[in-house]
Chain A
């Protein structure tokens, strides 16, 4: 069965420091990969996604994630975080056509400290 693992439930980091949020998935078939962000008191919104092609994908606010098929990982990185990046981040996978289901990880709460 497919699953998504986010090992870190909380990640504190100082402002302007780099951060990596880890995501591993298990699947015997190809999947589509997503990172969603949830700011306090809001719903989730898409940060970036990998469907095919270049394994490095970037968001408009400086985050990037790299799809690593051999390690079944899709870690999220940012070289320099801001206070406004404080939020909960969810990794998700979706199976190829034929299913409607998304599988979400348990989330990583990023706390950026001044």
Chain B
């Protein structure tokens, strides 16, 4: 069974803290994604990576950075957390191909920044 895991289901952090969200997939997928999910806004792409050490900005990259040192692991970093980054964060992965590939999602990390 395919699996995408995220390091935490719930996190509470203080404003200004550096926050690491980890995502691991076991499907040998080339592509990995970080989304932010907010009520009424759906999923918004923060960053994606199509290969190790390769990354591209999504629609809302400000305040975030990412790291992909190994194929199976994609990390999202909040350099200095702010209250407007309180949200649900979803990681996903997919194989490369003609574009019809399914995205596989992790269970999400609900982050609260106080």
Is B100 a contact of A49 with CB atoms below 8 Å?
yes
With a cutoff of 8 Å between Cβ atoms, the chain A residues found around residue B31 in the complex are 100
Interface of A is mostly: loop
Q: B-facing mask of A64-96, CB < 8 A → 1, else 0?
A: 000000000000000000000000001000111
Given known A42-B107, A43-B4, A43-B108, contact A49–B102 (CB-CB < 8 A) = yes
Given known A43-B4, A43-B106, A106-B42, contact A94–B100 (CB-CB < 8 A) = yes
Given known A43-B107, A44-B90, contact A99–B42 (CB-CB < 8 A) = no
Cβ-neighbour of A104 out of B40, B43, B104 (below 8 A): B43
Number of interface residues of A (CB under 8 A): 26
Given known A43-B90, A43-B107, A106-B40, contact A101–B45 (CB-CB < 8 A) = yes
With a cutoff of 8 Å between Cβ atoms, the chain A residues found around residue B26 in the complex are none
The total number of A-B Cβ pairs within 8 Å is 58
With a cutoff of 8 Å between Cβ atoms, the chain A residues found around residue B90 in the complex are 43-44
Is B42 a contact of A97 with CB atoms below 8 Å?
no
A7-45, CB < 8 A from B: 9, 32, 34, 36, 41-45
A97-111, CB < 8 A from B: 97, 99-102, 104-107
B64 at the interface (CB under 8 A from A): no
Give CA–CA (A32, B102) in the complex, Å: 11
List residues of chain B with CB under 8 Å of any chain A CB.
Answer: 4, 31, 33, 35, 40-45, 48, 50, 56, 58, 90, 92, 98-100, 102-108
